[in-house]
Each structure stands twice: as C-alpha cells, then as structure tokens.
Amino acid sequence: MNDIDTIQVIRKHIKKEIDSVKEHLCYGIDSQEQLLYARGKLNALEALLQDLKDLQNREEVYDDFNQAKTLSKK
C-alpha cells in the first residue's frame, strides 16, 4: 500500500469533504433531492474512510505476520 504520509493526506482530504457536506446539509439544502444527494454523498465518504482504515489495519496485521514469520525462521 502507500506510505503513511500519503494515507494521512487522503484521510485528511476525505474528512474535509465530510465536514463540507455536513455543513451543506445544515445550511444549504433547498429541496428533497438535494437532501437525498447530500446524505448519499456523506454515506459514501464515510464508507470510503472506513474502508481505508480497514485496509490499513489489514496491511498492518499482514506485515506483523510476515515479520513474525521471518523472525521465527532465524
């Protein structure tokens, strides 16, 4: 996967976009369609953020397993 700095930049960007959508939900909705669109976008961004966290955790577990496997061979 990408290095930790790249992941942090991506997560920061997603969080900014989530905040922007939340603000729009509070102050900028004029119709039912806009509400549904903003809610869908918010759900998608939150799912993306969770998927990124899950992938990062899975990679850490895989790296730990490989490191333990390498150490046990020595």
Residue 74 lies in a domain: no
- Written as six digits, the tokens of 74 are 């020595």
- Identify the residue with better confidence: 1 or 53: 53
Residue 14 lies in a domain: yes
> Tens of pLDDT along 32-46?
999 999 999 999 999
Residue 2 lies in a domain: no
pLDDT of residue 33: 97
Residue 58 belongs to what domain range? 8-69
Give Cα separations from 70 to 38, 58, 59, 60, 66 (angstroms): 48, 18, 16, 15, 6
Residue 40 lies in a domain: yes
Q: Three-class SS string for 6-55?
A: HHHHHHHHHHHHHHHHHHHHHHCCCCHHHHHHHHHHHHHHHHHHHHHHHH
pLDDT of residue 72: 65
Residue 35 lies in a domain: yes
